[in-house]
Every structure is written in structure tokens, then in C-alpha cells.
Chain A
Amino acid sequence: MDQTPINLLEIRDLRKTFSVAGGLFSRPLTLTALENINFSIRKGETLGIVGESGCGKSTLGRCILQLLSPDEGQVLWLGQDLTKLPAEEMRKRRADLQIIFQDPLASLNPRMTVGEIIADPLRTLRPELNKEQRRGRVLKIMEAVGLLPEMINRYPHEFSGGQAQRIGIARALITEPKLIVCDEPVSALDVSIQAQILNLLSELKDEFGLTLIFISHNLSVVRHVSDRILVLYLGRIVELATGDEIYDGPRHPYTRALLTAVPIPDPRLARQRNIDALKGEIPSPINPPSGCTFRTRCRFAKPYCAEHRPPLETIEDNRLVACHRWREIEVPEEAVLGV
């Protein structure tokens, strides 16, 4: 019987800051990229992470994989804290945790053949395999991601963006990972290819029993692939709920605004829509607003919101929200239309 714990990964009180140059004669400034991040990922689920540029979504993905070291907090993989793991141990662990990047061509070494690129992780992580065994595995994975066997000796520049992304996916799959962080995997692709890759990811997820973290700025794509969705704003979790809960009744005013701003490929619905246009732009994470960081753009903000930071509250089963006023704010009947 499979006795793997339900929660593959638990993130506790994660915090990540960066030091940025202030100016020629000033002291470096601190940019808080992530703060008070707490959530867990269940085995077999797809967790979507959405937010606008600079919200910390990619940093979060990289902190989970230890490609960046968090300043504080724990990343518990099956109970083991990855942040405390010695480098050599972590390297072995990487067979379980893989990543797919946004720009498929830029993430492939132009001097290596497709076969070499896909087999590369095996050299470090499965040194016991011989050349023939490696080749056998590569061909099997290539077939699974829809690449033809004769492509094995070609170079990345001979491929289109969609095919290059398939190579990136094959490289991530070759170590038989349990979790894959997909960081904007379809944002650079044409619409028809984007749909092909999304379908491929969902097939592979079923076939290999994967757990996925799907990072994207596109809420339509995230809703399409995710079981649960985590919404980030200025490095903090503002809401975490299932796709249906977010869609039917977003609790946080930011989630609500995002939902009405997502382009909807339906002219009649688009005309009925009452877009909750946020004022202004995202404040700088170097100097975030006091209290609730969203208050400067929130139409429900009260003076109280400037003084106190809203805690991340559990409001229903596994549903989290960080807003002082979520109980009072009435959710529109058709949240996606804002009416």
C-alpha cells in the first residue's frame, strides 16, 4: 500500500529578500520578494500560482527547488527540510523535484543534441546507468512527450518553440520526478501550440502520477490546469482556494479584480462585463504600503487597513484569505463578469 503522506510539500513561514543597489552613495536597499508564505501541496494535485509581474511567483518556485535559498522558513519535502539539506544530499533530491522554464530555447544548451540534453540529468543522478540504458530511457521519454526518435541527434536551433518546450519537458521527466515546477511554460508559445503543451502536461501528469506547481500570470490558463490556485500580491499570499471557489466566489478584492480583468474569449460576455479596474500600478516591493499591501489599489480599503497587516486566515476547509474585510464584502453573483 502506498503510504506516502498526503502532503508532499509543506512551506512554512517562508521569507526571501534581495539586496538591491540604492544608488552610488546610498546603502543597499532591501526588497522583500516573499513574506509569510505558508501552504502545502498534496500528492497528485496541480497547484496554480498566479500574480502580476514582480509578485514573487517565480521566486517562490525557485525557493521551493532550492535554486534560491530562502532567508527564513522551511520547505518540507515529505517532512524533510530542504533548506537544511547539505548540497550533496540536495543534488540527489533533485531527481524528485524538477522544473520547466518559460523560454524553451534559451533553457537548452545549443551545443548539445536533443538526446544529450535529455540524458544529461541521468549522468549525475543515475550514474549506474550505462550508455545504452540511458539511450533507451531517452527514447521512451521522447515518445511520451511527442518527439520522434529520429530527432535524437538534432540540435535545439532546428526546433520550433513548441517542440523545444517538449524537449524541456522530457529533460524534466527523465529522472522520474514526483514534483515539477512549471514556470510560465506556455507563455512564449503560439495559441495552438500552447493548447497542445497544456494537454500534454495533463496527460503526463496522469501517466506518471506527477504533482505540478504551475506558475503563470494567465488566470485562464491556471484555472484550466489547476486543482487549487494560490494568488500572490507583492510577495504575500492573498488567497488560496480551489479553482471553482476562486471562480465562483473570490474572497479577496485583488482576486476579484484579477478575475474581471482576465480577457474572456466571448464577445457577448465581454460586453456584459463590469471590469473592476484597479487604480494605478503595483507599488514597489522595496517600499511596500503599510498594513495591507493591497490597500492602495483596493476600493474596499478603510483607514484600518493601513495600520494593520491582515493575517492569512483559514476560512473554510483549506481555504485561505488575507483581508480584514472579507466577511463584509459581498461577492458578486457572476464574479467573472463583475455583476
Chain B
Amino acid sequence: MKQVLHVEDMSVTFALHNSEVHAVREMNFSLAQGETLAVVGESGSGKSQAFLAIMGLLAKNGRAGGRAMMEDINLIGMEPNQLDKHRGKDIAMIFQDPMTSLNPTLKIKTQLGEVLVKHRGFERDKAVQAATEMLERVGIPEPAKRANAYPHELSGGMRQRVMIAMALLCQPKILIADEPTTALDVTVQAQMLDLFKSLTEDFGTALVLITHDLGVVAGVADRMMVMYGGRAVEKGTTDDLFYDPHHPYTLGLLHSTPHIAKRAERLDPIQGLPPSLENLPKGCSFNPRCAFAFDRCLVERPPLAPTENGREKACHYEGPMAYGKVA
């Protein structure tokens, strides 16, 4: 499969009053056409900041380093006016709350049409027509009527569809979806995930799904990258990570997730709290919460290293991880 994005040694730092916080460090991954990569982690893991950096959308005090190559173009450090030629056209991002991403004062058709006028030089009328067709493709009933509506007149699920339609208008190679279904009801969520699946299959869009919900991941992702304390700690196929997790954090997340089909008496959660990025533990960031941590983990940070079957993990522990030991 053709690679559409190749990220190398990417980092994100934020300048505070008199210190610096490293939100993302040494991130490496690539993304192939039509593939779905799930980026999984809890608050503060760096999962959103990494992709905001790629989109050039970091807060003012944020700075990105490394490379994010889309073919031969490096998106990191690109001037905003240069970036605008690609954002929305080759790479698009949608967010958890569609209301804050849509302009409340403009009709849906105006906002959608604008993308085509700007990036593909469409005439206004043709742009609106194409936009309406796209609304239909993403499953919006009565698209012509909805195109004439303002964002507040639509429900949450409908607005998220509008965002997806907008993101797809230029048929981007890469779509980044940051918790796209977290605010939606389960029945609408199921419709959305179905839509994502047909997108990657029909348009060949590569999808990055940023989420904390392993249930969502299991349904749509081909590969996973698990993040903790600003770094990737495990990577591999979705099946490998679910059925044979190598990192204790991945295992802990799986045991923390209630499973509708397996009613355990008790969940087996990871103890303690996610770390503060300003004050990461020495050695392996996960060591205070890890049931398998030993001396080496307290002093030496495990590098992310290849294991087998194209998998990678950042953990010193090599023994078996029995169920229940993580608790």
C-alpha cells in the first residue's frame, strides 16, 4: 500500500512561564492509503497534541519538531499560508464537538461550498451543488433542506456528519478524527463508525482515529498506537494488541474497559492516576502504576523497540502477564 504520511521523530513542547512541558516526544509512525490507525490513550497522553501539531493548529506557546512527511512535503514548521494549500485539501481534521468547529452565522451550504471554491476553484453554484451531494453521501436526509440550515438547527449527530462531509469534499488523502463519536449517542455512533468504514474503503482515505474508547477501536481500526505520558508505548495490529498485549499499560486499559459480553464481577483497573507531563516519573513513566515494574524500570526509560510481527513496545519486562496481576 502507498504511504500517505510518514512521521519521524516528532515532538511537541509548550512554553510555560519559566519552564517547558514536553507533550509529545519521539513520535514515529507511517500511515498507508485506506488504512485506519487508532491512537489510544488517556488525558494528557499527547494523543491530540501530536495531530494538532501535524495540522499546524497548536496553541501559541506550542512548538513542534521533527518531520511529518506527506509525500515530499514536511508539514511541521510550514508557514500557515503554505499549510493552507494542503489543509482541507490533502489532510483534514474533525473534532469531538462539531458545534465549535462550524461557523454559527453561516448556512451549511456556504461553509461547505467555500472549501471547494477555495481549494478546487469551483464556481459558487457548482460548489453548493457538490456540497449538497456530499451531504447525501454521508447519510443526511433531505440534503437540500439541510444545506440551507444554520448549524444550530441540526442535531449533534447531523452536525458531525456535516463536519465529515466538509472534510471529505476535497477527498483528502488523510482524515484525522479526534474523538469524533464521544459526544454522540450509541445508535448515532454506530452509524458514524459505519460511515468511516465505507470512507476508507470507497475513497481510500487514510483515517487516524484518536480515542480513549477501546470498543470504538475494535470495530474500525487496522492498527493501533497506544500512548502514555507523551510517548508511544505499544504499536501493532488491532488484533495483536487486543488478544496479546505486550505492554502492561495496554493490558491494563483492556481490563479497565467494561465489556458488554463478559460480565466480570469486578473490573481490574490500573491503579493510581495518569502522570502530570510536568513531572514525569524517572525511568519508565508508567512504573508507579505498573504491577510488573522492577529495579531497571525505575532508572532506565525503555525505548520503543521492535519485537515480532511488525510490533513495537517500550517495556523492559519480558515475562508473562497473567490476568489480574495488573491490579
User: Do A and B come from the same complex?
Assistant: yes
Binding site for B on A (CB under 8 A): 52-53, 160, 162-163, 190-196, 198-199, 202, 217-221, 223-224, 243, 247, 257-270, 273, 275, 277-278, 280-282, 336
Cβ of B269 under 8 Å from chain A? yes
Q: Using Cβ atoms and an 8 Å threshold, which residues of chain B touch A336?
A: 260-261
Min CB distance A273 to B, Å, is 8
Contact of A262 among B243, B253, B255, B260 (CB under 8 A): B260
CB–CB B260/A220 < 8 A: yes
Contacts A/B (CB < 8 Å), 12 sampled? A52-B185, A52-B186, A191-B212, A199-B269, A224-B263, A263-B189, A263-B216, A268-B239, A269-B261, A273-B219, A281-B155, A336-B260
Q: Using Cβ atoms and an 8 Å threshold, which residues of chain B touch A196?
A: 269, 271
Contact of B259 among A220, A273, A282 (CB under 8 A): A220
Min CB distance A290 to B, Å, is 20
Min CB distance A44 to B, Å, is 16
Min CB distance A212 to B, Å, is 16
Cβ of B324 under 8 Å from chain A? no
For the complex of A and B, list the 4 residue pairs with the smallest distance between their C-beta atoms, beginning with the closest: A263-B215, A195-B269, A195-B256, A52-B185
Contact of A265 among B185, B259, B263, B271 (CB under 8 A): B259
A267's closest neighbor in chain B, by CB? B218
| Known A-B contacts A270-B219, A281-B157; A192 and B261 likewise in contact (beta carbons under 8 Å) | no
Q: Using Cβ atoms and an 8 Å threshold, which residues of chain B touch A269?
A: 218, 261
A187's closest neighbor in chain B, by CB? B182
B249's closest neighbor in chain A, by CB? A192
CB–CB B190/A266 < 8 A: no
Cβ of B254 under 8 Å from chain A? yes
Min CB distance B216 to A, Å, is 5
Q: Is the interface of A mostly helix, strand, loop or mixed?
A: helix
Min CB distance B84 to A, Å, is 34
CB–CB A277/B263 < 8 A: no
Min CB distance A333 to B, Å, is 13
Q: Using Cβ atoms and an 8 Å threshold, which residues of chain A touch B43?
A: 190
Min CB distance B140 to A, Å, is 11
Contact of A264 among B253, B259, B264 (CB under 8 A): B259
Cβ of B158 under 8 Å from chain A? yes
Q: Using Cβ atoms and an 8 Å threshold, which residues of chain B touch A195?
A: 255-258, 267-270
CB–CB B190/A223 < 8 A: no
Q: Using Cβ atoms and an 8 Å threshold, which residues of chain A touch B274?
A: 190, 192
Cβ of B191 under 8 Å from chain A? yes
Interface residues of B in 41-62 (CB under 8 A from A): 42-43
Q: Using Cβ atoms and an 8 Å threshold, which residues of chain B touch A194?
A: 256, 269
Cβ of B141 under 8 Å from chain A? yes
CB–CB B212/A190 < 8 A: yes
CB–CB B258/A198 < 8 A: yes
A261's closest neighbor in chain B, by CB? B190
Q: Is the interface of B mostly helix, strand, loop or mixed?
A: helix
| Known A-B contacts A191-B42, A280-B141; A262 and B186 likewise in contact (beta carbons under 8 Å) | yes
A334's closest neighbor in chain B, by CB? B261
| Known A-B contacts A220-B258, A281-B155, A281-B157; A266 and B270 likewise in contact (beta carbons under 8 Å) | no
Q: Using Cβ atoms and an 8 Å threshold, which residues of chain B touch A268?
A: 239
A163's closest neighbor in chain B, by CB? B273
Chain B 89-122: CB-based contact to A (< 8 A → 1; otherwise 0): 0000000000000000000000000000000000
Cβ of B188 under 8 Å from chain A? yes
CB–CB A267/B239 < 8 A: yes
CB–CB B260/A192 < 8 A: no
Binding site for A on B (CB under 8 A): 42-43, 141, 155-158, 185-191, 193-194, 212-219, 238-239, 242-243, 252-261, 263-264, 266-271, 273-274
CB–CB B186/A265 < 8 A: no
Min CB distance A289 to B, Å, is 16
Q: Using Cβ atoms and an 8 Å threshold, which residues of chain B touch A258?
A: 186-187
Contact of A267 among B156, B189, B193, B238 (CB under 8 A): B238
Q: Using Cβ atoms and an 8 Å threshold, which residues of chain A touch B242?
A: 265-267
| Known A-B contacts A52-B187, A278-B187; A193 and B273 likewise in contact (beta carbons under 8 Å) | yes
Q: Using Cβ atoms and an 8 Å threshold, which residues of chain A touch B158?
A: 281
State the CA gap A282–B253 with chains docked (Å): 32
Q: Using Cβ atoms and an 8 Å threshold, which residues of chain A touch B239?
A: 267-268
Most buried by B among A191, A194, A202, A247: A191
Q: Using Cβ atoms and an 8 Å threshold, which residues of chain B touch A264?
A: 215, 218-219, 259-261
Q: Using Cβ atoms and an 8 Å threshold, which residues of chain A touch B141?
A: 280
State the CA gap A219–B263 with chains docked (Å): 12
Contact of B256 among A52, A191, A282 (CB under 8 A): A191
| Known A-B contacts A193-B273, A265-B215; A53 and B260 likewise in contact (beta carbons under 8 Å) | no
CB–CB A217/B269 < 8 A: no
CB–CB A192/B219 < 8 A: no
Min CB distance B27 to A, Å, is 21
State the CA gap A291–B214 with chains docked (Å): 38
Q: Using Cβ atoms and an 8 Å threshold, which residues of chain B touch A217?
A: 185-186
State the CA gap A282–B187 with chains docked (Å): 10
| Known A-B contacts A198-B267, A264-B259, A268-B239; A192 and B215 likewise in contact (beta carbons under 8 Å) | no
CB–CB B188/A219 < 8 A: no
Contact of B258 among A160, A221, A260 (CB under 8 A): A221
B262's closest neighbor in chain A, by CB? A266
CB–CB A262/B273 < 8 A: no
Contact of B267 among A190, A199, A278, A282 (CB under 8 A): A199
Q: Using Cβ atoms and an 8 Å threshold, which residues of chain A touch B215?
A: 220, 262-265
Q: Using Cβ atoms and an 8 Å threshold, which residues of chain A touch B212?
A: 190-191
Q: Using Cβ atoms and an 8 Å threshold, which residues of chain A touch B261?
A: 247, 264, 266, 269, 336
Q: Using Cβ atoms and an 8 Å threshold, which residues of chain A touch B271?
A: 196
